[in-house]
Amino acid sequence: SAVISQKPSRDICQRGTSLTIQCQVDSQVTMMFWYRQQPGQSLTLIATANQGSEATYESGFVIDKFPISRPNLTFSTLTVSNMSPEDSSIYLCSVGQGGDIQYFGAGTRLSVL
């Protein structure tokens, strides 16, 4: 299994600012995924981050709003830019192992005032 560390675990931010969330994995993985979970909702995929290439964004999510970095096979960051209260959510990173089972970090709980 993979152990995933996410930082910060929670934050309260002001409207118009940006927050960068870090995701560290204890083993090398090809693909990392970033999800958003809005209050009372299920998870929605934001983007898939492959090392050495641009992230692939899902419909409704754009790079200017959610820039992603993937500098190596164990680390990725997601930035939530120019935040508004609608961005208040739990953000989770996950990795796939062996191409099938996926493991999740503990999530970052973001509140935007």
Partner 1 sequence: KQEVTQIPAALSVPEGENLVLNCSFTDSAIYNLQWFRQDPGKGLTSLLLIQSSQREQTSGRLNASLDKSSGRSTLYIAASQPGDSATYLCAALKAAGNKLTFGGGTRVLVKP
**What 8-state DSSP symbol labels residue 26?**
S
Give yes or no for a contact between 31 and 49, defined as CB atoms under 8 angstroms apart.
Answer: yes
Q: Are 4 and 94 in contact (CB under 8 A)?
A: yes
CB of 106 to partner 1, least distance (A): 4
The residue to which tokens 């083993």 are assigned = 27
Least Å distance, CB 89 to partner 1, is 12
Distance separating alpha carbons of residues 99 and 64, to the nearest angstrom: 29
**Helix (H) or strand (E) run with residue 51 in it:** none
Q: What is the CB neighbour count within 10 angstroms for residue 60? A: 8
Q: By CB under 8 A, is residue 43 in contact with partner 1?
A: yes
> From the list 65, 67, 73, 109, which residue makes contact with partner 1 (rule: CB under 8 A)?
109
State the nearest-atom distance from the C-beta of 51 to partner 1, in Å: 13
Give the residue with the Cβ less far from partner 1, 28 or 82: 28
Smallest separation, CB 22 to partner 1 (Å): 14
Which parts of this chain interact with partner 1 (CB under 8 A)? Answer: 6, 30-31, 33, 41-45, 48, 58, 90, 92, 94, 96, 99-107, 109
